[in-house]
Structure 1
Amino acid sequence: MFLRAYNFNAGPAAIPLPVLEKAQKELVNFNNSGMSVMELSHRSKEYEDVHNRANTLLRELLLIPDSYEVLFLQGGASLQFSMIPMNFLQQDKTAHFVMTGAWSEKALKEAKRFGETRILASSKEENYTHIPQGFSLEGIEDGAYLHITSNNTIFGTQWTDYPTSPIPLIADMSSDILCKEIDIEKFSLIYAGAQKNLGPSGVTVVIAKKEFLETATDDAPTILKYSTHVDSQSLYNTPPTFSIYMLSLVLEWVKEQGGVKAIQKMNEEKAGYIYSAIEQSNKFYKAHATEDSRSLMNITFTLPNEELTKKFLTEAKERNFIGLAGHRSVGGCRASTYNAVPKEACEALAAFMKEFQENNQ
């Protein structure tokens, strides 16, 4: 039996071990078809069942109303940065953005190619240490949409309360979808790359209000129109069949854990171990994010100096902790505690942090 790593990678990230084991068992003979799921025709009954199961489970777990479409697309969240304004940013409208990190910057950059944009609020001057609070939504009533990034992997911040927007609210939830309960009906469109909480990379989930989809322009190329994928049930072209299969297995695992409510409780416990180690360190470890904006998914912190940081990361790797180096924008360390990261890994990391502090003060 090999030793599983304590996987704190920011993405692609940990996948539940039972999911990997089930995929391994079914890899060469899916449902007695004599084929791998990767070999099935995407028009076959066998694959259709997988596809529909993923859709049904996602709707069940997130309480998605019938007034919303669920799409399985390709291109990652990065394609959505362009696809959204291409479909919804009309020439006489403005797209509004709340800036909370590198991914909201990239979304804004792409939107600028298609029309008018406006930054409604930003924490960039504070190096994105917090989610902006108390900003005004007045004067945006004629806007095309308001875009937010719900969780910021690089800076370790996360929205706790979403704005009640007078215009369609769009959220990039790539790194925290399914980590906690949300009110889907606050949003007109949610998109999420799979490689954090949903499975392997390759599929992007889009959850969109039907009424909002009807406002899309007809100018986009066929494959970049949401209507194309709605009409074809995400089967206009060959979908990422294996990634969708893995998504369905991850969703089954979430359901077995007790659903999103139970997952949220586990995530709060997991993050609590590490944040407690930071808070109890007498500033040996310092959190990048302010307390009111701290992420359940990406915990960012620094040590007193670069030498200690390198030593920490070296010794951590020797203890089988993987993926703890912080992004260059923040430095220090980052522990990504996505749904599939077990509680034991977070407890072990917190214990190592305390031990390292005791040995290096």
Structure 2
Amino acid sequence: MSTAAPAHANHAAVSRTASGRIFNFSAGPGCLPEEVLAQVQKDVFNIAATGIGILEHSHRGKAFDRVLAEAMHDFRAISNLPENYHVLFMTGGASSQNFLVPANLKPQDQPADYITTGYWAEKSLEHARPYGVLHEAATSKDRNHSYIPADGQARYSQAPAYVHFCSNNTIYGTQWHKADAAGACTWHQRDPVAPPGVPLVCDMSSDIYSRPVDFTRYGLVYAGAQKNLGAAGTTLVVIRDDLASRKVRELPWLLRYETFAKDESRPNTPPVFAIHICGLVFKWILSHAQPGRHCLDVIHERNIRKAGHVYQAIDSSGNFYRGHADKNARSLMNITFKCPTPALDDAFCSQAAAQGLDGMKGHRSTGGMRASMYNAMPEDGCKALAQFMKDFAARNG
């Protein structure tokens, strides 16, 4: 069937949050917590009763001193980050880390290993090529990145400088998970099993703090802020002390991790506003803690429920919806699927947007739909999307 049936009148009510906002399923920038947005509105005009807003304060002044100190403290508190790790607020987006990682960590003649499970992991490999020998240790491109390679599939080079991977793949909708004894997904973090002593480097841009994380398993983690941490404009880097001080070539001072570590992210004017928003998001994450329960456990449990509503709509559709990812590699953050025809995909996106479910169009390389459900997406939004999916399939199946 190539022509979509119109939405019936009784399905035409626009889905909204309690504050009257529609549900934003965009892959990035993603939605922000409404509590954070409300505080930002106040702080733009007058932050902490200083008489001026955050956009006007000096990056060397006392007001921003407090903002930066609290942001670093709260990020550490969420994950109990050890003192031998630095928290850096950098610029240039996660894409800039594709060259900063090899520039800082990889000698020209020493290999670095990459596991490519999607578009951004492939970009990381591509942009590292000017820095010498690279090795693709494992890939999922043989099946259009619909799965995550098993531990035994990786073939590492001898003594690589690091092993790089991307924990969640926004375009294809796959994520690294542990499996149970039967091979079913547990939704808990799994990492590549790197050779002993070789640091793991992880692009965690789209799922950082969506579930419990132990940063001591990594040498370096980086994440663009605009999905789960805040707004576009800053890139968070968590780096172990020995890697921050590693020197493998001469670099301009602003391209060295050590510079940002020594100057506490202020070697020059930092992205003040973006850091402030991150700090507010960190407080929002911490606020989810319950008696006897860590904040990330609570958030993770909610993310599993949220994704479950949409995956159930896919799985119960009688193959009207076809998911891209293998079931044991499905992402909690980005759900990718298609209707039987491209025309129905287009109709789905337009009708969903008309009902307050926006940002559903899939990436140009995959087509179809993509529902991005980062931490700030309310569960009601996922329920509304699942109900729309069922109604759309019933009208057009």
Query: TM-score normalised by the shorter chain: which range applies?
Result: over 0.9
Structure 2 counterpart of 1:342: 378
Counterparts of 1:314 and 1:137, CA distance in 2: 41
Contact 1:87 1:219 in 2 (8 A): no
Displacement of 1:218 = 4.5
Counterparts of 1:150 and 1:337, CA distance in 2: 16
Contact 1:93 1:144 in 2 (8 A): yes
**2:27 counterpart of 1:10:** yes
Counterparts of 1:260 and 1:316, CA distance in 2: 30
Counterparts of 2:156 and 2:78, CA distance in 1: 35
**What residue ranges of structure 2 are gaps of 5+ in the alignment?**
1-17, 178-189, 290-294
Aligned pair partner of 2:244 in 195, 198, 213: 213
Aligned pair partner of 1:255 in 259, 268, 286: 286
Secondary structure of the residue aligned to 1:42 is: coil
Aligned partner letter, 2:242: E
Secondary structure of the residue aligned to 1:59 is: helix
Counterparts of 1:22 and 1:153, CA distance in 2: 29
Q: Summarize the Cα distance change of 1:222–1:125 in structure 2 as closer, same or farther, 3 Å threshold.
A: same
Displacement of 1:26 = 2.2
Contact 1:164 1:186 in 2 (8 A): no
Displacement of 1:96 = 0.4
Structure 1 counterpart of 2:328: 292
Give 1:244-283 correspondences, 5 Å limit.
Answer: 244-258=275-289, 259-283=295-319
Structure 2 counterpart of 1:223: 254
Which moves more between the two structures, 341-350 or 215-224? 215-224
**2:119 counterpart of 1:102:** yes
Displacement of 1:311 = 1.3
Displacement of 1:137 = 5.4
Counterparts of 1:344 and 1:45, CA distance in 2: 40
Aligned pair partner of 1:60 in 67, 77, 86: 77
Runs of 4+ in 1 over 2 A off after TM superposition: 134-141, 212-218
**2:181 counterpart of 1:164:** no
Structure 2 counterpart of 1:332: 368
- Identity of matched residues, %: 41
Contact 1:189 1:209 in 2 (8 A): yes
**2:350 counterpart of 1:321:** no
Aligned pair partner of 2:340 in 304, 321, 325: 304
Query: How big is the alpha-carbon RMSD for the aligned residues of Structure 1 and Structure 2?
Result: 1.3
Displacement of 1:34 = 1.2
TM-score of the superposed pair, with normalisation by structure 1: 0.97
Counterparts of 1:254 and 1:330, CA distance in 2: 32
**What residue ranges of structure 1 are gaps of 5+ in the alignment?**
none
Displacement of 1:92 = 2.5
Which moves more between the two structures, 305-314 or 120-129? 305-314
Secondary structure of the residue aligned to 2:348 is: helix
Displacement of 1:211 = 1.8
Aligned partner letter, 2:286: K
Secondary structure of the residue aligned to 1:135 is: helix
Structure 1 counterpart of 2:184: none
Give 1:45-56 correspondences, 5 Å limit.
Answer: 45-56=62-73
Counterparts of 1:29 and 1:179, CA distance in 2: 31
Aligned pair partner of 1:237 in 268, 273, 278: 268
Aligned pair partner of 1:180 in 208, 211, 232: 211
